[in-house]
A and B are shown apart, each in its own frame.
Chain A
Amino acid sequence: MTLAPETPAPQTPAPQTPAPGTTGPKVRLRLTDDWFAACDLGALLPGRGVAALLPDGGQVALFRDRGGELYAIDNRDPFTGAAVLSRGLTGSHRGRPFVASPLLKQRFDLTTGQCLDDETVRVATYEVKAA
C-alpha cells in the first residue's frame, strides 16, 4: 500500500527561525496572515534553490535570480510526488523565470507556479520578500 500523507506527520523537529546573532536580511514569505522568516538571504545562491520547512509541515522551494529577485513555490513536484523542486535548475523563458524539475524536467513558472509543459498543472506560490 502506498499512500502519501496529505499533511506530513509532524514527527519532524519544528523549523527554527535562524539563530539569533546572524545579521543581515532574511527571506520571508507570506503565510495566511504573517511573514515567516525562512532563512538568511545569504543562504540563497543565485540560480539555485533551497527547501524550507513550514510550520504546518509543508515545504517551500525558495529561489533567487541573478538580479536579486526572490521566488517561492511549493517544493512538491506534482508529476512525481517527490519534494524536489528546490533542487532543479532555473532559467528564463521569454523573460519569465522558471525552474525545471530535476526528476522529469517539467518547467514551472516561478511567479505563477504554472507548469510550462502542461497547462493543466500548477503549483502553489507564495509572496516573498527580503527584509
Chain B
Amino acid sequence: MNATPGPTPTLVLVGHGMVGQRFLEALAERGLTATHRVVVLCEEPRPAYDRVQLTSYFAGTSPEDLSMTDMAFIEEHGIELHLGDPAETIDREARRVTARSGLAVDYDVLVLATGSYPFVPPVPGKDAEGCFVYRTIEDLLAIEAYAKNATTGAVVGGGLLGLEAAGALKGLGLTSHIVEFAPRLMPVQVDEGGGAALLRTIEGMGLSVHTGVGTQEVVVGADGAVTGMKLSDGSELATDLVVFSAGVRPRDQLARDCGLAVGERGGVSVDERCRSVTDERVFAIGECALAADGRVYGLVAPGYEQAETAAATIAADEASFTGADLSTKLKLLGVDVASFGDAHGTTEDCLDVVYSDSRAGLYKKLVVGRDGTLLGGILVGDAEAYGTLRAFTGSVPPVSPESLVLPAGAGAPAQLGPAALPDDAVICSCHNVTKGTIRGAVTEHSCTTVPEVKKCTKAGTGCGSCVKVLGQLVTAELEASGVEVDKGLCGCFAQTREELYEIVLALRITSYRELLDRYGREEARGGEGCEVCKPAVGSVIASLAAVIGASGYVLEGEQAALQDTNDHFLANLQRNGSYSVVPRIPGGEIAPEKLIVIGEIARDFGLYTKITGGQRIDMFGARVEQLPVIWARLVDAGFESGHAYGKSLRTVKSCVGQTWCRYGVQDSVRMAIDLELRYRGLRSPHKLKSAVSGCARECAEAQSKDFGVIATSNGWNLYVGGNGGATPRHADLLAQDLSDAELVRLIDRFLMFYIRTADKLERTSTWLERIPGGLDHVRDVVVHDSLGICDELESLMRAHVSHYRDEWAETINDPEKLARFVSFVNAPDAPDPVVGFVPERDQMKPDLPLLSIGVRRPSEDDVLEGSTRR
C-alpha cells in the first residue's frame, strides 16, 4: 500500500489522544482540513476519549460516554482515521510514515501526539500476572476483570494518579494499599502540611498508606500470579493485584529512532511554535513534547494550548507556546485537593499564610510576595476558593490573604466573589478562557445559561473545576445586564421553597390561594398556580399542619386540589391508569395472620403482588373505584397507609438483629418499628427512607438511607444523607454511640431542619451537598444547636407525632371523600374500559394500548437468551 502526496499537501497525525483530537479541531477551525489531506494513526482500538475522566468509568460512565470524538466531525472534514494502527517507523528523508498494518503515508507535515507511557520501576516480578498500569480504557477493563477474583490490591505511587487508582480499587471492593516512595502523598502538588492533612483523610476512608518506602520486588506465586510485594523497609505486603502508577514518561521512541532531538529525560525537543528543533516539517504536542521552556507537561491544558499553537503555525498564524500554568484541582476519593501557581513557594523572599485543622482534614496555604502579590497556594480538604484564588494569582487581591483561607465561622471569612476579578483573569485554564470572554458570551452572544456559555466559549468543558466560578460569573453578568436570575420556586412564586416554608410558619398561612394571592409573583396572583408549586406548598402546609392549625389530612378542603395525583388517590398511579396499594409493614416485620390477609385481598381483587425493595408488599392493578373497598378490608385487619405515594416517610428497613442473629448487638427490629411509627405520615420535600442494622455488618443497608442507624455495643450510630437511586451516595456519620432517646431526638431535629431548608424534590443527599457548610454545618445546628432552634425543631416534630392519623382510615369513614374514588362522575361503578390486563407468569400485567406517539415495537431480540416465556 502506498500513498504519495498529490496536489493537496498531506498532514499526518500520529496519536489520537486528547491533544491529538484537539489539534484536529484546531485544524478544522482554521480551514486546514479543507486544504490538506489529513491522516490520523491511532494506536488504541477506539478514537480519542477523555482520559482525565478515566476513573469515572468505575462510577458507571461507559467508554462511549468518555468518547471525545464526534464521528460526524471526522467524516465531515474528510479526516482519514485509522484505528488500532500505530505508526511504526518514520523515514524523514522520504517523508514517509509506515504503520503496523503496512499502510505507508507520505507527509508534508508530521505531527506527533503520542502522549506518555506509565513508568514501571524495574523491579523483579513486575510483569507477573496481576500487574497493571492505569492509562487506557483497556487497562481499566483488565483491572476490573482481574479484581473479580481478588480481595486485596496495592498501588505503587501516591501521586495524583496513584490515589485515583487506589480509589478505583477500593470501589471494586478490594482492601487497598498505597505505597509511596516520597515521605508524603502527592509530593508534586502538595507540601508536607498538605500531605499530612491528605494522609489523615485518606486513611480515614480505610485505605492503608505506606509512605517513605519503595517497592523492591513483586512476589509471585507458583502459578505465576502476584501474591505480594517486598518493600524497602524489609516488610512484605500481601496483595493479589498491583497497579503501577509511578509517573509517566514521554513516548518518544519513534522520534528517537528517526533521529529527532529528544531531551535528556525524554520528550521531543520543540521550539515555541511546537516544531521539532531538528526538522521543521515535524511537530510534537502534548505529553510527548519537551516544550521550549524545558518542561514536559503532564496535564491536558498545556497540551491543548500546544495543539492550538501547532495548528496556528501550520496555518501561518502567529502563535507560540512558552509555558503553562500547572494549577490543578481534583476531587480525589472525595477529598478536594488543589494547587496553583508557585505552590511550593520557590519565589525568592515569598511568605506563607497557612491555615491548618488536622481534625477536620483541612490545610490551606497561600504563597504571597513581599508586595502582597498572590503567587500560588495549596488547598486540601476544602477547595471552594480555588477558582477565585487561581484567577487572582499574579495580582494583589483586594482583601487580606488570611481572610481568604480562614474557614467560614472562624473570624469573618471574606466572601471574595468572582465579581472582584479583573477581565483578563483566566477562569478556565483547560481552555484558557478569561473572565472577559465569559462576560462577552453573556453580553454579546446573549448566552443566558451556563450550558450555553460552555458551548460558546468551551470554558468548563475540560476538567470541570471552573464550572462553579463560571456559574457565579454568568449569574453576576446576567444580573448586571438587568436580566433577573430567577431563584424562585416556579413561574408563580419568586421565593424558594425554604422562604415559603418560613412565610407559612411565621404567618400561619393555611391556604395555598392566600399564599399565591399575597406572596405570588404579580402576574400569578389570582391565577390557578401550577403543577410545580401546588404540591410543594401542599407539602409545606402538611408538614406544618399541626402547628399552623391546618388539617393534617391531605384530602381536606382546598388541600385536596394541591396534591399530586398519587396523594390525591392515596395510591400510586400505574402506566395504564390503575393503582398500586402498599400497606405499611413497619420494620418489615409481619405476622402470618396479616400476610394471609394481604394474600386473600390480592386474590379476591385479582391484584398482581410483588415484594418491594422496601421490605413490604405491593399490590398492583387496582381500579380507582376498588381502592376504598380494598382499604376497608386492610384497615379492618389493622393495616394503615404505607405512604408509598407521598413525599413522606416510606419505610424503615431492618435486619433481624440481636434477637436472632448471632452477631447482633442491639434490637434493630424494635428500633426500626419505633422509628417508622414515629415518622409515618411526615410530609417532606422528597421521600424519606431509613434503615436500622443490628451490627456493623449492615445487612439493612442503613448507609444508603436518608437517615440510617447502625447498632454498636454502646448504642447507635446515626448516618445521614445516604441515597440509592440514580446518584447513589453513602451516608455520613452524624453522631456515635447514642442512647435510644438521644438517637430519636437527633433524628427529630435532623428531619425538621431538612424539611425546613431543603428545596422542592431535594433528597437529603443533595441537600447535604448543597447547603453552605455541608455536614459540619448540619452537625453544628442539630447536635450543638448553634442556631438555637433545636427546641423549636423538636416541638414541631412532637406536634407532628401527636397529630398523626391514618389517611386511609379517615378516608373510608368519610362519604364525601369516598365519592371522589369513582371511575366516572356519572357512572361511578363502571370500570374504566381502557384499564385492561393480560396474563403473565401466573399473575397478570397491564394490557397497554398501542400508541402512535413514542411506540417502541417489541422485537424478538428483546427476549433474554435462555429466559422462558410464560
Q: Which residues of A contact B (CB under 8 A)?
A: 2-5, 8-9, 11-18, 38-39, 43, 45-48, 50-53, 57, 59, 62, 65-66, 76, 78-84, 87-93, 95, 97, 100, 102-103, 105, 107, 121
Among B561, B825, B849, contact of A4 (Cβ-Cβ < 8 Å): B849
B316 contacts the other chain (Cβ, under 8 Å)? Answer: no
What 9 pairs between A and B have smallest CB-CB spacing? A4-B849, A91-B530, A8-B833, A81-B849, A102-B565, A47-B561, A82-B577, A89-B531, A100-B531
Evaluate contact between A87 and B565: CB separation under 8 angstroms: yes
Query: A121–B854 Cα gap in the complex (Å)?
Result: 12
Cα distance A47–B538 when bound, in Å? 13
As a 0/1 sequence over residues 192 to 224 of chain B, the CB contacts with chain A under 8 angstroms (1 = contact) are 000000000000000000000000000000000
Are A93's CB and B530's CB within 8 A? yes
Inter-chain CA distance A62–B763, complex, in Å, is 35
- Given A90-B528, A93-B530, decide whether A48 and B575 contact each other with a Cβ distance below 8 A: no
Q: How many Å from the CB of A73 to the closest CB on chain B?
A: 15
Provide the residues of chain A in CB contact with B561, threshold 8 Å: 45-48
Bound complex: CA of A113 vs CA of B227, how far in Å? 70
Taking a contact as CB atoms closer than 8 A, the residue among A81, A88, A103 that contacts B531 in the complex is A88
Q: Given A12-B833, A84-B573, does the pair A91, B529 have CB atoms closer than 8 Å?
A: yes
Q: Which B519-544 residues have C-beta < 8 A from chain A? A: 524, 527-531, 534-535
Contact of B565 among A78, A88, A92 (CB under 8 A): A88
Count of interface residues, chain B, beta-carbon cutoff 8 Å: 45
Closest to A5 in B: B833
Minimum distance in angstroms from B312 CB to a CB of chain A: 45
How far apart are the CA atoms of A34 and B741 in the complex, in Å?
Answer: 68
Taking CB atoms, residues of chain B closer than 8 Å to A15 are 824, 826-827, 830
Evaluate contact between B826 and A18: CB separation under 8 angstroms: yes
Give B527's nearest chain A residue, CB to CB: A92
CA distance A11 to B560 in the complex (A): 32
Q: A48-B560, A102-B565, A121-B853 known; A13 and B528 CB under 8 Å?
A: no
Q: What are 21 of the A-B contact pairs (CB < 8 Å)? A: A4-B834, A16-B827, A47-B534, A47-B558, A47-B561, A47-B562, A52-B826, A57-B833, A65-B528, A66-B513, A80-B851, A81-B834, A81-B848, A82-B575, A83-B835, A84-B577, A89-B534, A89-B564, A91-B527, A103-B575, A107-B531
Q: What are the residues of chain B within 8 A of A92 when measuring CB–CB?
A: 524, 527-530
Question: B564 to A102, Cβ gap below 8 A?
Answer: yes
Q: For residue B573, which residue of chain A has the nearest CB?
A: A102
Q: How far is the CB of A77 from the nearest CB of chain B, in Å? A: 8
* From B528, B566, B833, contact of A66 by CB (8 A): B528
- CB of B824 within 8 A of CB of A53, answer yes
With a CB–CB cut-off of 8 A, which chain B residues contact A62?
825
Are A9 and B528 closer than 8 Å at their CB atoms?
no
User: Contact: B573 with A87, CB < 8 Å?
Assistant: yes
With A65-B528, A91-B528, A91-B534 as known contacts, state yes or no: A39 contacts B826, CB within 8 Å.
yes
Bound Cα distance from A18 to B566, whole angstroms: 28
B1 close to chain A: CB less than 8 A: no
A109 shortest CB reach to chain B, Å: 12
* B436 surroundings in chain A (CB, below 8 A): none
Say whether B776 faces chain A, with CB atoms less than 8 Å apart.
no
B317 at the interface (CB under 8 A from A): no
Q: B729 near A: Cβ within 8 Å?
A: no
Across-interface contacts of B827 in A (CB, < 8 A): 12-16, 52-53
C-alpha gap A121/B455 in the complex (Å): 31
Min Cβ gap A113→B in Å is 15
Out of B575, B832, B851, name the residue touching A83 (CB < 8 Å): B832
Of the candidates B565, B829, B830, B831, the one having the most CB atoms from chain A within 10 angstroms of its own CB is: B565
| Residue in contact with A93 in the complex, picked from B491, B825, B854, CB distance below 8 Å | B491
User: CA A39 – CA B828 in complex, angstroms?
Assistant: 11
Whether a CB of chain A sits under 8 angstroms from the CB of B823 is: yes
Cβ–Cβ < 8 Å partners of B831 in chain A: 12
Q: Across the interface, which residues of A come within 8 angstroms of B527, CB to CB?
A: 91-92, 95
Per the bound structure, the CA–CA distance linking A15 and B829 in Å amounts to 10
Contact B851 A81 (CB under 8 A): yes
- For A83, the chain B residues whose CB sits under 8 A away are 577, 832, 834-835
Q: Decide if B805 is an interface residue (CB 8 Å cutoff).
A: no
A53 touches B830 (CB 8 A): yes
**In the bound complex, CA of A45 to CA of B685 (Å):** 25
| Smallest CB gap from B858: residue in A | A2
B531 with A91: CB separation less than 8 A? yes
Pairwise interchain contact A52-B824, C-beta atoms closer than 8 A: yes
> In whole angstroms, what is the CA distance A76 to B577 when docked?
10
CA A17 to CA B825, docked complex, whole Å: 10
Would you give the shortest CB distance from A13 to chain B, in whole angstroms? 5
A89 x B825 contact (CB < 8 A): no
Besides A9-B833, A48-B560, 16 more A-B contacts (Cβ < 8 Å) are A3-B850, A4-B848, A12-B831, A12-B833, A13-B829, A16-B827, A18-B826, A38-B826, A46-B561, A47-B562, A50-B825, A59-B832, A81-B850, A83-B835, A87-B565, A87-B569
